[in-house]
């Protein structure tokens, strides 16, 4: 039973991370163009953290997102930072002890949500759909590299295309290569996945790019502040598919909000002080 939960729970974590990647991919579609005259940046470096209450990924609502964050991710080292020089850095990092004791991990999930039916919620999650519908169309050749166990080349496609990188695993380790080769061949997660990741591994998914802040007029005629990501931010003749909206909460703190309705996803971020 526990192995089945590991398999499906890990699939959901990968889905959430993948959707986060897709969100930034949709904000980063153009790499050319001159700087627009109304390009501005934050006056000082500012860091935002995930706001679970304003986040939903596909069928996974707030309780599930919170459980995944608390069980899997190092919250202090999971953030989006926008710098005064126009560059940005985002990262999602796993907890240091995540892979050291799988049974302890499952027990912690049970403590957080004792009545949460993981299997029922995750019954529809399949890696084949994730690869075929999202990964392969965005990064042609990724699946073949994966099937060959060439993890570094597979990840290199993503880094060169969008600026994403994944660190924390020795991709030349024969056991790691065999693990990813198996996943690529079966398009399924092995039941002992977490046990096969080194106990001391700390995985970090990072994204580095540029950004700018722009004042926008919405369909309602109201003014909104948007954050454009990637070199498209400086191109006054091009519009991104998606924009982060910058708002203020009732306490005066700044918040970012992103919505992609066709992905059934919305992501909320709150400024850290």
> Does 180 score more than 80 pLDDT?
yes
Looking at residue 121, its pLDDT comes to: 43
For residue 222, the enclosing domain spans 2-126+188-272
Q: Rounded distance, CA 71 to CA 91, Å?
A: 17
Read off the pLDDT of each residue in 235-262 and give the average, rounded to a whole number: 73
Q: How many CA atoms lie within 13 A of 76 on its CB side?
A: 2
Q: Provide the sign of the torsion angle of the four alpha carbons 170, 172, 176, 182, taken in this order.
A: positive
Read off the pLDDT of each residue in 7-36 and give the average, rounded to a whole number: 49
**DSSP line for 166-194:** EESS-TT-HHHHHHHHHHHHHTS--TTHH
Q: Among residues of the chain, what percentage have pLDDT more than 90? A: 11
Within-domain flag for 168: no
> Does 20 score more than 70 pLDDT?
no
| Residue ranges in the chain assigned as alpha helix (H) | 2-26, 62-72, 102-112, 118-122, 127-130, 136-138, 142-147, 151-162, 174-186, 193-196
Answering whether pTM is above 0.75, one says no
Vertex 156 angle, CA 150 and 160, to 5°:
160
Considering 30-44, 76-90, 115-129, 251-265, the range whose residues carry the highest mean pLDDT is: 76-90
Read off the pLDDT of each residue in 171-186 and give the average, rounded to a whole number: 87
Within-domain flag for 147: no
User: Which residues neighbour 40 within 8 Å (Cβ) at sequence distance 6 or greater?
Assistant: 212, 213, 214
Distances, alpha carbon 100 to alpha carbons 1, 166, 197, 202, in Å: 20, 20, 9, 10
Read off the pLDDT of each residue in 106-123 and give the average, rounded to a whole number: 56
> Does 133 score more than 50 pLDDT?
yes
Q: Provide the sign of the torsion angle of the four alpha carbons 150, 152, 153, 154, taken in this order.
A: positive
> Does 165 score more than 50 pLDDT?
yes
Q: Name the residue with higher pLDDT: 258 or 33.
A: 258
Backbone dihedral angles phi then psi of residue 189, each to the nearest 5 degrees: -95, 130
- Please state, rounded to an integer, the average pLDDT across all residues of the chain: 75
Within-domain flag for 160: no
User: Which residues neighbour 182 within 8 Å (Cβ) at sequence distance 6 or greater?
Assistant: 190
Looking at residue 13, its pLDDT comes to: 53
Within-domain flag for 140: no
Within-domain flag for 131: no
Q: Following CA atoms 208, 214, 217, 223 in sequence, which dihedral angle do they give, to the nearest 10 degrees? A: 110
Q: Name the residue with higher pLDDT: 41 or 18.
A: 41
Quick: pLDDT tens for 80-105. 999 999 998 999 999 888 888 766 76
Within-domain flag for 146: no
Could you say which DSSP state residue 149 is in?
T
Q: Find the range with the poorest average confidence among 44-53, 100-109, 194-203, 205-214.
A: 100-109
Q: Find the range with the poorest average confidence among 93-107, 211-225, 237-251.
A: 237-251
Within-domain flag for 144: no
Within-domain flag for 9: yes
Quick: pLDDT tens for 24-79. 554 544 444 444 445 688 999 999 998 887 777 766 666 777 777 777 889 999 99
- The number of domains in the chain is 1
């Amino acid at each position: 039973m526990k192995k089945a939960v590991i398999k499906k729970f890990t699939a959901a974590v990968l889905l959430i991370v993948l959707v986060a990647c897709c969100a930034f991919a949709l904000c980063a579609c153009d790499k050319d163009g001159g700087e627009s005259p109304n390009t501005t940046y934050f006056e000082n470096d500012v860091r935002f953290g995930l706001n679970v209450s304003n986040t939903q990924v596909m069928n996974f609502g707030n309780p599930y997102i919170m459980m995944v964050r608390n069980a899997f991710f190092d919250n202090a080292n999971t953030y989006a930072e926008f710098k005064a020089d126009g560059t940005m850095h985002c990262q999602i990092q796993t907890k240091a002890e995540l892979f050291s004791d799988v049974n302890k991990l499952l027990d912690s999930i049970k403590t957080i949500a004792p009545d949460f039916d993981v299997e029922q919620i995750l019954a529809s999650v399949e890696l084949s759909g994730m690869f075929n519908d999202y990964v392969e169309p965005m990064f042609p050749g990724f699946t073949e590299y994966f099937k060959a166990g060439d993890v570094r080349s597979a990840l290199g496609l993503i880094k060169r295309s969008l600026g994403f990188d994944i660190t924390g695993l020795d991709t030349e380790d024969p056991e790691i290569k065999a693990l990813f080769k198996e996943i690529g061949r079966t398009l399924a997660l092995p039941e002992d996945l977490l046990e096969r990741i080194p106990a001391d591994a700390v995985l970090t998914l990072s994204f580095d790019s540029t950004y700018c802040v722009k004042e926008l007029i919405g369909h309602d005629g109201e003014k909104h502040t948007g954050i454009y990501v990637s070199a498209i931010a400086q191109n006054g003749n091009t519009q991104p598919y998606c924009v982060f909206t910058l708002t203020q909460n009732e306490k005066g703190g700044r918040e970012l909000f992103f919505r992609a309705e066709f992905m059934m996803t919305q992501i909320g971020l709150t400024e850290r002080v």
